Amino acid sequence: MPLPMHPMQTRSKSGIVKPKPFEDYQCYLTTIPSFHEAAEPATYKAASQSSVWIQAMREEIEALHTQVKKNSDGSVARHKARLVAQGFSQALGLDFSETFSLVVRHTTVRLVLSIAAMNKWSLRQLDVKNAFLHGDLEEEVCMRQPQGFEDSAYPTHVCGLRKSLYGLKQAPRAWNAKFTGHLPALGFTVSHSDPSLCVKRVGLDSVILLLYVDDIILTGSKDSLVQEVIDELSAVFEMKDMGRLTYFLGLQISYHDNGDIFVCQTKYARELLAKAGMDTCRPCTTPCKPHCQLLASEGDSLSDPTIYRSIAGALQYLTFTRPDLCYAVNTVCQYMTQPSYLHFQLVKRILRYIHGTLDHGLTFTSGSWDLHAYSDADWASDVNTRRSTTVFVVYLGNNPVSWQSKKQNSVSRSSTEAEYRALANTTADLAWVRQVLLDLKVFLPQPPTIHCDNLSALALSSTPVYHSRIKHLDIDFHFVRERVQKKDLIMQYIPTEEQVADIFTKELHGPIFLRHCRNLQLSSSAGFEGE
């Protein structure tokens, strides 16, 4: 191959093939750019060429001896630099031991939103400044001095960390322990069912606190009591009062004049469509075609399954406020191991449906204080394994707070067996939701009700004569029937056409699908206003 004749001297023309060495730093500065900037500085050297980023780094160093925060519309709140330790160089047992840190469950967030809407309580949001810097370290950890900020008198010395630092493996756990350890001093009691949920009782009034890393949601029966908690927290931790809750974990929250709360993920969905190159696609009315099931081995395998897995994983988070996507997303996630081009068409169908329903989300309204659920199963529905699908949806009043569409762990030998296993899963979830409500001092006027469209499964829950025929279901049988006998649970028959959970079991035709979407309180954002 002849060499090019241009006069520019290159490394290859000079015969230099040795790779260029790059220095490995023990810690480094990461920065997040403005939305309007062409590219972010990836190294300290690049950042040091800009006066804006130099100032941001100086502010961060002063805070230690603020990461770019974005609003829900994508605009930049302010520039912020962060000193980050290279946690990947830490050794287990030497620099850290435990790294696990609790995060709030999705069902708990929806429960709190539902309680706030039903009581007409206001929702407040707090952001902890430099949250991970508050954590106390139990281990002795040292790191090199930050590049560009070395002490001229001791350039070869290392930094001994007394407090936690971003990038350390134990940083999230140390912060969580610090914050939750202080809450009992303020009168809060931690929920046994979800340790990220705390409640404070003052007479007949209460304050509910939800913690997700450094984001905090507060609501309560008295605004003055909530403000008192904010003042007490601000006296110990450096807090930023974000005011009324409008954006949390990618959720966009808006409000109606009558107190209803609307929650959607429009911004997240738009970004997902753009990532998949489907932001200009033709929309469709349902997320999956009826009677369209594929074998795991069907179709030619994708040469690079990365994009399939990435989109399918991202779709799972969208089901936070979109239960209408639950069945379709659960289906495509079963082909993660070796997805084909035909499987990818199923993913594209979901994206087309999302494109046509971008402004859809959940509406939390006021209503009666009753807990009820719809339980269903699709017997031997998986064409690959012939396992059944367990589905349920749990309501607090009119508001759906928990749902599931999941393949059962083993093959069921009859539709009754499949339905009864679904009843057992629904009973377990109802028990957990009820315990959370008890931790929040929310007492229900009557036992929870499960609606089921299978008469045989209902008979098993109350008739002992059937027990000898289902020895293989012994545990599930006792688990459900024990609660029915104690009158902690009410079983009720419902016709199949009124079975709301049917939307989680199979592909449905448009009219039926849309009717169930309305039953799930899904609607557009029209009529709601955020702040």
pLDDT digits (tens, 9 = 90+) for 56-114: 888 777 766 644 555 666 665 656 677 777 776 777 767 667 666 677 789 999 999 99
Residue 432 is predicted with a pLDDT of 93
- β-sheet with 449-452: strand ranges across: 399-407, 389-396, 371-378, 449-452, 490-493
Cβ atoms of 346 and 312 closer than 8 Å: no
Pairing type for strands 449-452 and 490-493 reads: parallel
46 Cβ contact list (under 8 Å, min separation 6): none
Higher pLDDT, 495 or 46: 495
Looking up tokens 């046509």, which residue turns up? 356
Gyration radius of the chain's alpha carbons? 27
Helix axes 415-439, 474-485, angle to 10 degrees: 50
Cβ atoms of 264 and 361 closer than 8 Å: yes
Looking up tokens 């996630």, which residue turns up? 333
Residue 472 is predicted with a pLDDT of 52
Both tokens of 78, joined, read: 């302010």
Name the residue among 427, 102, 84, 115 with its Cα closest to residue 261. 115
Distance CA 254, CA 433 (A): 25
241 Cβ contact list (under 8 Å, min separation 6): 124, 126, 230, 234
260 Cβ contact list (under 8 Å, min separation 6): 117, 363, 364, 365, 366, 528
Q: How many CB atoms lie within 10 A of CB 227?
A: 14
Element (H, E) at 437: helix 415-439
Name the residue among 218, 261, 268, 222 with its Cα closest to residue 243. 218
pLDDT surpasses 70 at 530: no
Name the residue among 410, 399, 390, 407 with its Cα closest to residue 472. 410
Residue 70 is predicted with a pLDDT of 58
| β-sheet bridge partners, residue 144 | 158
Residue 470 is predicted with a pLDDT of 57
Name the residue among 465, 474, 464, 462 with its Cα closest to residue 417. 474
In percent, the amount of the chain with pLDDT more than 90 equals 33
Lowest mean pLDDT among 192-201, 425-434, 463-472: 463-472
Cβ atoms of 420 and 381 closer than 8 Å: no
Distance CA 353, CA 347 (A): 10
Q: Using alpha carbons, list the distances in angstroms from residue 84 to 57, 130, 168, 169.
A: 11, 12, 8, 11
Q: What is the mean pLDDT of residues 461-472?
A: 59
Query: What pLDDT digit, counting tens, does each position of 348-360 carry?
Result: 999 999 999 999 9
pLDDT-derived band at 44 (thresholds 50, 70, 90) equals confident
Residue 43 is predicted with a pLDDT of 79
Higher pLDDT, 329 or 367: 329
Residue-averaged pLDDT of the chain: 82
pLDDT surpasses 60 at 17: no
Cβ atoms of 338 and 299 closer than 8 Å: no
